[in-house]
Amino acid sequence: MSAPAATAPYDLLTAEARAVLFRTASYLSGEEKEQLEKAVAFAFHAHDGQTRKSGEPYITHPLAVAAQLAVWHMDIQGLCAGVMHDVLEDTGVSKLEMAAQFGETVAEMVDGLSKLEKLKFDDQAEHQAESFRKLILAMTKDVRVIVVKLADRLHNMRTLGSMRPEKRRRIAKETLEIYAQIANRIGLNNAYQELQDLSFQNLHPSRYETLRKAMENSRKNRRDVVGKVLRAFGRRLVSANIEAKIKGREKNLYSIHQKMLAKKLRFADVMDIYGFRVIVNSIPACYAALGALHGLYQPKPGRFKDYIAIPKSNGYQSLHTTLVGPYGLPIEVQIRTREMDAVAEGGVAGHWIYKSGSGSVDQAVLHTNQWLKSILDLQASSANAIEFLEHVKVDLFPNEVYILTPKGKILTLPKGSTPIDFAYAVHTDIGHKTVAARINNTMMPLRTKLKTGDSVEIITSEHGKPNPAWLSFAVSGRARSAIRNYIKNMNRRDAVTLGENLLQKALSSLLPQDVLLSDGLKEKYLADLNDKQTSFEEVLYNVGMGHTLPVSVAMHIAELAGEHFGSEVRLSPINVGRQESGRLHMAECCHPVAGDPIRAVLVKGKGMIIHRDTCPTLLKTDPEQQLDADWGNLMTQNNQSYRFVLQIQAEDTHGLLAQMAQAISSAGADIASVETPSRAQAGTEGFVEFRFLVKAADLAQVNRIIHDLHAIPQVRKVTRS
């Protein structure tokens, strides 16, 4: 801290800040005001000669913090802690000295707010995490500690302009990730939204300013709509004999920005930037007001939420509904009692406003205390401060999951993520080559949803590549984008190659070899399509993707050639070994293995699917989409593996699973996963059923595995599913 710039403005600013504090804290008793005056004098003396980065006297900051606490109707101990919150950290005053003058409770609160400047840490991250842990643990002893801290952070964010740009961004990021979320968690809604907006302003100043100006213009253009809605609400509630206070409000800029990003909207397309709040005298009046307003404007289906019957985890209670207002604009409405409104705006701080013990406020305090207890449980299970910070973040961000790598690194993923999302979060190449995953040391399907705390190990192969089916369960933007790009760039060539091979086979029974797909025939075919935008590569791509049947294209080309052997197309069997491509897949319904009698099916949008010729799916498929197929040179290749399913029924005895696993492994196969249905499903008491997903090289190996399993005395039945 440096010396003050000048005496005159120092006195003027301090006097003004002090006046604001006592004016806001007018709810205090005479004795409490004397105690607050004593704390102000104590802090003034301790910070004498210190200034902020802006050059203002430092005492103006703790006075502003205390004034914010007074807005939340903080009690006298909290106000004293707010005025003196930096005294132990930034001055020579000791905790014992403070406790002697203001009591142990105030001294403990201030100590909980102080950073750990005297301890040595290896890096800044550890320092911040340890300071945060101390703050959170102090909060679990006295929730007022975090309320004071939020007031401190709120004023610091309001006056962040004097900091260096990189420091502003760091503080803003920390505020958005932690302190804004804590404000939300304990129900300080106004503080939550202001911290979000201030963080947004410092992280993305250009976007913030653009959006702020757009909001100003929108405010002018839509003022008549807000007024019209307010008048309509007022008339309808009066006619229903419901006494109510009605407020129109704007959504904060950060929430509008997030909605624009999430839904890829322009500002002009965001319709619901205004909301309305209806405050009534009782809970029955809330539901009566809801019915009255639903009779005024049509409610949107599925947009009603009853947080009165089922409060949010921070104690928040209200009825939420969305109505279709004037000009078709959506109107978000919140209906609540006065006590509920106090909790919604002040959260647990509402405890000091409504000390009479209203149900809403007691509920808010109860929920906050439950959360604080869970924080203590996190502390007990955390190995260090950084791990504790991550655990608390998980609790503050219920829409995210935190997953461990095998080396203990924590990755943050969206809720609902799978091992595929995890793999791409590690590295795009890892994602592309993923073939399997272990979750908590157990092989699990790639579509398994991950939970916070899961440890994931990704198994890769040089021959691995993305499967389009992954898009049905990958949720992270990074994973979905990478998968789509790979499919777009790589599988188009595969589809074109497959389409060309299929068309050549279809034409070989209609045209002489020297005429097959000549340039002249291609040009004639494209001209006959009468589509100048289509290239012949696109035709082949559509055949390979299953959008167009090769037989129909072949017949069309043969007719244009004017010389062909006949009207019947005779396709030679599809050689799986030669035709292998990204557009050729083994069916998941019957799991064909090299050596099985097979047929190929052209499936629109997927390409060619190989089925066992006994697969029931073939009976439901159009015969024109089916082709004969054989394994070709894959029968002699040793580097291929195929998945198949074995269902085994056996006597339920100790060590059985190990024996069966040994039999499969000894045959040279790998087990991908094992499922054990309930014993009741096995059909007979004393028996158990297993379902093995196994990887083998060919049909001979499959038969050897089945034979070896039958040799186990407890095994009664082995079926290839």
DSSP code of residue 450:
P
Residue 46's closest CA among 83, 11, 75? 83
Integer Cα distance of 644 and 265 in angstroms:
46
Integer Cα distance of 65 and 67 in angstroms:
5
Integer Cα distance of 494 and 450 in angstroms:
32
Integer Cα distance of 306 and 660 in angstroms:
54
Residue 249's closest CA among 189, 302, 307, 304? 189
- Asked if residue 607 lies in contact with residue 545, where contact means CB atoms within 8 angstroms, the answer is yes
Catalytic residue among 32, 90, 177, 395: 90
Catalytic residue among 32, 37, 75, 89: 89
Give the CB-side neighbour count of residue 132, counting CA atoms within 13 A. 24
Q: Is residue 630 among the annotated active site residues?
A: no
Integer Cα distance of 121 and 126 in angstroms:
6
Tokens 């790598």 map to which residue?
Answer: 405
Integer Cα distance of 63 and 86 in angstroms:
11
- Asked if residue 229 lies in contact with residue 330, where contact means CB atoms within 8 angstroms, the answer is no
Q: Name the token pair of 507.
A: 């034409």
Q: At what angle do helices 76-83 and 104-113 cross, to 10 degrees?
A: 50
Q: Name the token pair of 544.
A: 């390979």
Instruction: Name the phi and psi angles at 503, rounded to 5.
Output: -70, -40
Tokens 């929108």 map to which residue?
Answer: 218
Integer Cα distance of 703 and 469 in angstroms:
30
Q: Is residue 89 among the annotated active site residues?
A: yes
Integer Cα distance of 433 and 460 in angstroms:
5
Task: Please report, as a single letter, which amino acid is at residue 202.
Answer: N
Residue 70's closest CA among 19, 25, 16? 25
Integer Cα distance of 394 and 458 in angstroms:
23
DSSP code of residue 585:
E
Residues classed as catalytic? 89-90
